[in-house]
Amino acid sequence: MKKKTTLELHRTDAAQYALTPKLPLTVVLDNIRSEQNIGNIFRTADAFTIERILLCGICATPPAVEIHKTALGAEQAVAWEYFPTTGEAVSRLLDEEYQVLAVEQVHGSVALNAFRPEAGTKYAIVLGNEVKGVDQSVVDRCHACLEIPQRGTKHSLNVANTASIVMWHFFAAE
């Protein structure tokens, strides 16, 4: 097997990307402290044509250098907004008639592999802080919670890895 060249990958530029239809999924980052994690999430959002990212609370925003290191320019292509609190972002999404889903380990969560996005529905996924997860006050306002089934000794995944898995799930379901 021979690796594909950049030309064979048919990558679009930022102007073409702006015109590309987006997956009806918004990613909400609830007080993510690591700029590298934020950059990684931007890069994954670009790969799966996610409609936007909402950065909340202590999240750094572009053009932060550490975001750019991992985003590799995706932060210039993917739409984003900043909100002082995650609650404000969730209020906006509820007003815009999104199904808001926290990605969190809670009683009554839905296993990601059992969740099937409904066609024509706009979704938002809320991803939480690296240590504390999604704030309980935000969880309380969500329609449901998704959980990635795990078997190992650890009880969580890195937030950027979690974001990638969940975005892929929505992308593959389309």
DSSP state string for the chain: --PPPTTTTT---HHHHHHSPPEEEEEEEES---HHHHHHHHHHHHHTTEEEEEEETT---TT-HHHHHHHTTHHHHS-EEEESSHHHHHHHHHHTT-EEEEE---TTPEEGGG--PPTT--EEEEEEBTTTBS-HHHHTTSSEEEE----SSSS---HHHHHHHHHHHHHHH-
The predicted pLDDT at position 155 comes to 85
State the pLDDT at residue 6: 78
Give the residue-averaged pLDDT of 164-171: 98
pLDDT tens, position by position, 41-88:
999 999 999 999 999 999 999 999 999 999 999 999 999 999 999 999
Task: Look at 14-23, 99-108, 162-171 and tell me which has the smallest mean pLDDT.
Answer: 14-23
Average pLDDT value for the chain: 96
Report pLDDT for 123.
98
Tokens 């996005």 label which residue? 117
Q: For 93-107, write each residue's pLDDT tens digit.
A: 999 999 999 999 999
pTM across the whole model: 0.95
Task: Please determine, for residue 146, whether its predicted confidence score (pLDDT) is greater than 90.
Answer: yes
**Any idea which architecture 21-173 has in CATH?**
3-Layer(aba) Sandwich (3.40)
pLDDT band at 135 (very low <50, low <70, confident <90, very high): very high
Neighbours of 87 (CB within 10 A): 16
What pLDDT score was predicted for residue 12? 83
* pLDDT cut 90: percent of the chain above it: 90
Q: What is the pLDDT of residue 163?
A: 98
